[in-house]
Amino acid sequence: MRGEGFADFVRQNEASFYRIAFSYVRSREDALDIVQDSIEKALRKLPGLRDDSRIKPWFCRILVNESIDCLRRRRGTEPVDESLPAADETGRRAEALALYDAVSKLPPKYKTVIVLRFFEDMKLQEVAQAAGCNLSTAKSRLYKALELLRVELKDWEVGL
């Protein structure tokens, strides 16, 4: 994949990339900066991509790493929750906010598999590639993350 193909890939997936970054940093400006920095880093590394069919998990790995780096840099400051997704009903909105908050509290390795698998609907093999682990590790992390969410959300009736 070269310049123009990469640009098309970015345009087609920009909303998804923003959601992934935002799920980590919960700040509009930081999420936009992370996406931009990830695109810049990916452009530099693009010649090393051997299999164009793996561009999405490859780019998501860069994006997740940039998001985690941003969190490390601003450790000690409270993330700003600027714009959560709207829901139609008050009860559903409260449920969505509880789930979003619970996911945001997960350690990064668990948060990554949840966000990529359920929020971005990636296949487990792609999640594993993006997370930089093998398939069995991705499955194990997903199982553990779901267990942690069940404990966190025990008072809510969300379908976990």
How many whole angstroms separate alpha carbon 20 and alpha carbon 22?
5
CA distances to 91, 136, 159 from 84, in Å: 15, 32, 20
- Give per-residue pLDDT as tens, 54-91: 899 999 999 999 999 998 888 755 544 444 444 444 55
Sign of the CA dihedral running 34, 109, 59, 12 = negative
In eight-state DSSP terms, residue 52 is: G
- In the chain, the domains with their CATH numbers are 1-83 (1.10.1740.10), 86-160 (1.10.10.10)
126-143 pLDDT tens trace: 999 999 999 999 999 999
